[in-house]
Homo-oligomer: A and B are copies of this chain.
Amino acid sequence: VILAPGIPAETELGGRACVVVDVLRATTTLTAALEAGAKAIYPLAEPDDAWRLQAQLGGEALLGGERGGLRIGGFDLGNSPREYTRAVVSGKLLCYTTSNGTAALLAAHRAGAAPIYLGALRNATAVARRLVREGRSAVIYCSGSGGRIALEDVVAAGAIAGACQGAGDVVLHDTAAIALATFRWALPDLVEILSRARHGEDLIALGLAEDIAYSAQVGASRMVGQFDGVMVRPAGHILRREVPG
């Protein structure tokens, strides 16, 4: 587990399966968007990139994301998973940029990780099943918040590591043990603990407490998004497409 960007991991990212985690809220929100039928999401570093790509796509894509936790001026959607409903995003392309999560997705791709999955508390067990099925070394990459460790991402990394351990003969490195201990401690009182964490407090100050409660629903979703370096789509979809014939 990389507990925050810039922390040296026990293993290199290059050539390894990677789960990027940004519980509050990018990976939770993109998982919700895929569940609601979004066709694909383009994670982009900056708002300008989103405008540019939307124009290139003929103006048909929606713009989503946040800066400072709030919807970017002129964008169709903010970064609350509750905005990404079937009525709004089904069948749509999304150009999407956030402060931490999209940067982590792009960084994992630059570092040569493959495949790259989107992990959250809501899809922790589904992600773990996928990792165990692949049966090779994997790195869980916590996006953090402003370059610093975010408790909710470590908790989700622990949920995924614990679910992997439950599903197979898995060796956890030191950082995975730390994350798993943190998850077990937090689980009985999850919403309260995430609300008192630094990033949770920021969201509550913005009136977004419901996003925390939604994001804390461990294992509620079977959807696993996969990032191929350009776009995020349901992982099964990408795997099917890669099988010839």
Contact = CB atoms under 8 A, between A and B. Distances in A.
Contacts of A4: 7-8
A154 interface: yes
Interface in A166-195: 173-175, 177-178, 180-182, 184-186, 193
B184 A197 contact: no
Interface stretch (A144-152, A205-213, A228-236): A144-152
B181 A186 contact: yes
Nearest to A171: B196
A177 B181 contact: no
A184 B182 contact: no
A10 interface: yes
Contacts of A180: 185
Given A174-B197, A174-B198, A198-B173, A149 B182 contact: no
Contacts of A148: 7-10, 174
A6 interface: yes
A197 B4 CA distance: 20
A197 B10 CA distance: 12
A150 B10 CA distance: 10
Interface string A51-89: 000000000000000000000000000000000000000
